[in-house]
Amino acid sequence: MAEQGKKKLVEAITPMEIDFARWYTDVVINAELVEYTSVKGCLVIRPYGYAIWEHMQRIMDGMFKATGHENVCMPMFIPESLLQKEKDHVAGFAPEVAWVTHGGAEKLEERLCVRPTSETLFCEHYAHIVQSWRDLPKLYNQWVSVVRWEKTTRPFLRTREFLWQEGHTIHATAKEAIAETERMLGVYQTFFEETLAIPVVTGAKTESDKFAGAVTTLALEALMHDGKALQVGTSHYFGDGFAKAFGIQYTGKDNQLVHAFQTSWGTTTRMIGAVIMAHGDDSGLVLPPAVAPAQVVVIPIAAQKAGVMDTANTLTARLQSFCRAKIDASDNSPGWKFAQHEMQGVPIRLEIGPRDIEQQQCVLVRRDTRGKTIVPLAELEAVIPQMLQDVHDSLYAKALANQQNHTYRCTSLDEIRQTLRDNGDGFVYAMWCGDEACEDSVKEATGVGSRCIPYAQEQIAPTCVCCGKPAKHMVCWAKAY
Amino acid sequence: MAEQGKKKLVEAITPMEIDFARWYTDVVINAELVEYTSVKGCLVIRPYGYAIWEHMQRIMDGMFKATGHENVCMPMFIPESLLQKEKDHVAGFAPEVAWVTHGGAEKLEERLCVRPTSETLFCEHYAHIVQSWRDLPKLYNQWVSVVRWEKTTRPFLRTREFLWQEGHTIHATAKEAIAETERMLGVYQTFFEETLAIPVVTGAKTESDKFAGAVTTLALEALMHDGKALQVGTSHYFGDGFAKAFGIQYTGKDNQLVHAFQTSWGTTTRMIGAVIMAHGDDSGLVLPPAVAPAQVVVIPIAAQKAGVMDTANTLTARLQSFCRAKIDASDNSPGWKFAQHEMQGVPIRLEIGPRDIEQQQCVLVRRDTRGKTIVPLAELEAVIPQMLQDVHDSLYAKALANQQNHTYRCTSLDEIRQTLRDNGDGFVYAMWCGDEACEDSVKEATGVGSRCIPYAQEQIAPTCVCCGKPAKHMVCWAKAY
């Protein structure tokens, strides 16, 4: 029975090389991260998936609070008239919102949309509470779910409802607001590198790719195993556009009434998708230790033998004083357990059997490298934290190497096409004149779209990769999720 | 300017005795817990209010996890056909749900309601994932918001959208499920007593007052300052009714296919309302230390004098190593600050000025009793934690005394009316025959409805307070929110 279970579990994963999209779906289902419901694009986030999200939330929320932000909670409903107050914003979002038209049996006087994002709600609130320079800045964030009525959906990457955090801040000056968008981009970058072990390219979106209503949109792009880019976070500067649309004015120290300046920034459960596609392998998930629900799983070997379960339980309790450890005390076979916890990406497996107990040692197996180490039980307090750090570091190094190996510098459209054909998808760095027509032409001719204008600019060529006119920026181009 | 602000702040509160409902609204607005939006019954929970909720969440979530529960996240939308699967449940909720009829410009094939509660979603999920006795129990909880299209709304007490946690568990046997409903009622009771310092009466709801679809509903009732009861939590046993409606069956150890047994239990942001109305006074909020965003506020006196701000800042940092402390370094006057932090219910105010510094001491003022103590700075590590415990204990003792002083034992409808007229509203303990007609008559004749059949039964009389037939239970009756 158990062995049959194991076989089923392993067979269920499509190898990445065969079909990356199916591999991804197999992992999210078999690792028990999500389950489908009868509403397309609306998923159940199961305990294991939600525990990963809770760790992300806890760590990121700490970073927000350390930078002076406070959490609030806005309502989920936005009256149609409120959504319409900022014209670019409504044009961007109205086509994809869910509309509530009835409360009980009664038709509403005005329809309400379920928030696709909450700029309009924060603006309405700021108009109430901001009067004087003393009221500024307000550095707010909220952890909620939002709804966008997408046609094509995929677990974590694009769902009709998704969990996220949205920061919304308001400042006395443009300078402060711009500094805030950059600070939060930096917070996100630190989080991706130090918590998720994912390297990112950061930069500004081009005009055509900005958030609806933003003056500038900064973004973080991460490269997935299949060579596609995933936008994993954004930070927007609004200038005083929303403040003008919503009448948010304050009296300055000089007694003049002026408009305030705003930002917003967000990351979503899509980060779980990024972890899967940046670190996963053909055996399933590979979790960065910082967000792994269990960092160590203890597997008793020959559990029926005298003393094994007792020792394993005592050991687990001991581990719990310095890391997140759990024991798999089920009656499945060790082989089945190995496969299951590999599928769920537990960073370290600790095996302990009668012979180990005799010799006062155990076997540690790293999920990422599958490297085995025999360790004296007395040394676990020193070895495990170091091994968790090593797992993090090597996940990051591997993801960075993958990104670097799949970052190409090209000076012509032909070279882009040829490079992608020869080396597979990836980030293409190429120069751009700043003209939207060229941006479109690159995508049409090569399949890669502009992801961002990286902060780390390189002078690859003097001229635009498309039209040959003088180049303004180096752009990072890629196929994207 | 500042003194004018202070006056405004203090004037803004209607005394409880004059108008309790206005006092309540004045407190929630002036303590900056919430702000209204343009959608009736949908409020902004502001940073101070949300921080209280975060502490409630953190503590309660720890209690759930310690009792083996896992968090998940269900979608917010329920298809109409899914809501209709359990007939009592749909009858209870359909009249008050918000309906989504359009996604973007397109009309949906089937309307979706915004969850008013998530039994149907959990049932659909359990039908997918529960097959064998090995899959049981599932002990799930989620922290989300829900929507009920109420006609009359009040901040925290009854809003169209509110935040809550909903536990949903599924078990192999009725016995286990019943034990779970009782365990969670106990967890809630502990939370109310030990975290919120609020005594509760626990018991079962009568038939007419059960949750839609439940076999039994257990509830916690707390008495507010005005003598009205507030239902602050419920725990429901469903038997196998939902399992039958949704086809949730599992194969037992004996290889028989049988239906599973379920529970659900919930508490909401209404708990913030309970804290306000159980502990507040005419100066505003009085917060139990466990959920106070700041437990101590440091107020520098004569802050412009040399050394005061430095000492106050150093002291605040020192306090932060053993409690939640903040400094009010604004340029408002001390008097204005006193009023503001009283309004926000900060448990302890620490005043420190030049003379205090000279004598290496400070002044501690308790919010609840306004008692002042002069304390040597060297003793703060010992004094403050003890004082916070004392504040908690005396809040609880005061609330319990209030409940006991307003709990009346009556044996006739006349006595109920007379008692309430003479002593004010409160809990009325009186016997009941079990007949719904009598339950209705008591309410009609006296204004108090049945709140619950308390676990702690007393034999007040042998016969029903209404009809004189043999009594089955002692009921707790009260006017209720």
| B3 contact A CB<8A | no
Chain A (100-119) residues lying within 8 Å, Cβ to Cβ, of chain B = 100-105, 112, 114
Q: How far apart are CA B150 and CA B144, in angstroms?
A: 18
Min Cα–Cα distance to chain A from B426, Å: 33
pLDDT of residue B11: 60
| B272 contact A CB<8A | no
Residue of A56, A61, A102 to mutate when probing chain B, most B C-beta within 10 A = A102
Q: Which residue of B has its CA nearest to A29?
A: B129
| B147 contact A CB<8A | yes
- Enumerate the CATH 3.40.50.800 domain ranges in chain A, comma separated: 296-387
Q: Which residue of B has its CA nearest to A128?
A: B35
The helix/strand/coil state of B147 is strand
Neighbours of B253 (CB within 10 A): 9
Q: How far apart are CA B329 and CA B316, in angstroms?
A: 11
| pLDDT, averaged in runs of 10, over chain A (481 residues) | 46 90 97 96 97 98 98 98 92 93 95 97 98 97 97 96 98 98 98 98 96 96 98 98 97 97 98 98 97 98 96 98 97 95 98 97 98 98 98 98 98 97 97 97 97 97 97 98 95
Q: Do A102 and B99 make contact, defined as CB atoms within 8 angstroms?
A: yes
pLDDT of residue B89: 87
Partners of A475 in beta bridges: A430
| B386 contact A CB<8A | no
Q: What is the ipTM of this complex?
A: 0.96
Q: Which residue of B has its CA nearest to A49?
A: B72
Structural contact between residues B408 and B427, judged by C-beta atoms closer than 8 angstroms: yes
> Residues with Cβ < 8 Å from B179, sequence gap 6 or more?
none
Chain B (46-75) residues lying within 8 Å, Cβ to Cβ, of chain A = 46-47, 50-51, 53-54, 70-75
Token pair, residue A91, equals: 């044009």
Q: Which residue of A has its CA nearest to B293?
A: A70
pLDDT of residue B44: 98
Which residues of chain B, if any, have pLDDT below 50?
1-7
Token pair, residue B196, equals: 């919120």
Q: Do B75 and A101 make contact, defined as CB atoms within 8 angstroms?
A: no
Q: How far apart are CA B224 and CA B228, in angstroms?
A: 5
Q: Contacts of residue B112 in chain A, CB cutoff 8 Å?
A: 39, 98
| B76 contact A CB<8A | yes
The DSSP H or E segment spanning B45 is strand B43-45
Q: Which CATH number fits domain A12-279: 3.30.930.10, 2.40.50.140, 3.40.50.300, 3.10.50.30?
A: 3.30.930.10
Structural contact between residues B126 and B246, judged by C-beta atoms closer than 8 angstroms: yes
Residue A480: phi and psi, rounded to 5, are -135, 155
Q: Please tell me which of the candidates A35, A43, A99 has its beta carbon nearest to residue B129.
A: A35
| A470 contact B CB<8A | no
| pLDDT tens per residue, range A426-476 | 999 999 999 999 999 999 999 999 999 999 999 999 999 999 999 999 999
pLDDT of residue A9: 54
Q: Would you call the peptide bond into B137 cis, given omega within 30 degrees of 0 as the criterion?
A: yes
Is domain B296-387 annotated with CATH 3.40.50.300?
A: no
The helix/strand/coil state of B201 is strand
Q: Which residue of A has its CA nearest to B29?
A: A129
With CA atoms as reference, report the closest residue to A292 among A274, A275, A277: A275
Q: What is the maximum alpha-carbon separation in chain B?
A: 81
- Enumerate the CATH 3.30.110.30 domain ranges in chain A, comma separated: 407-478
DSSP state of B463: B
- Enumerate the CATH 3.30.930.10 domain ranges in chain B, comma separated: 12-279
pLDDT of residue B12: 77
DSSP state of B406: T
**What CATH topology corresponds to A407-478?**
Translation Initiation Factor IF3 (3.30.110)
Q: Do A73 and B37 make contact, defined as CB atoms within 8 angstroms?
A: no
The DSSP H or E segment spanning B82 is helix B80-83
Q: Contacts of residue B114 in chain A, CB cutoff 8 Å?
A: 76, 100, 114
Partners of B214 in beta bridges: none
Partners of A114 in beta bridges: A77
Q: Please tell me which of the candidates B44, B114, B140 has its beta carbon nearest to residue A125.
A: B44
Q: How far apart are CA B183 and CA A198, in angstroms?
A: 42
Residue type, B480: A
Chain A (22-51) residues lying within 8 Å, Cβ to Cβ, of chain B = 35, 37-39, 42-47, 50-51
> Residues with Cβ < 8 Å from A410, sequence gap 6 or more?
A416, A419, A428, A429, A430, A460, A465
DSSP state of B84: T
Token pair, residue A405, equals: 């190996």
Q: Please tell me which of the candidates B37, B39, B100 has its beta carbon nearest to residue A98.
A: B100
DSSP state of B133: G
Q: Do B114 and A76 make contact, defined as CB atoms within 8 angstroms?
A: yes
pLDDT of residue A12: 77
Min Cα–Cα distance to chain A from B31, Å: 13
With CA atoms as reference, report the closest residue to B201 among B177, B181, B218, B176: B218
The helix/strand/coil state of B279 is helix
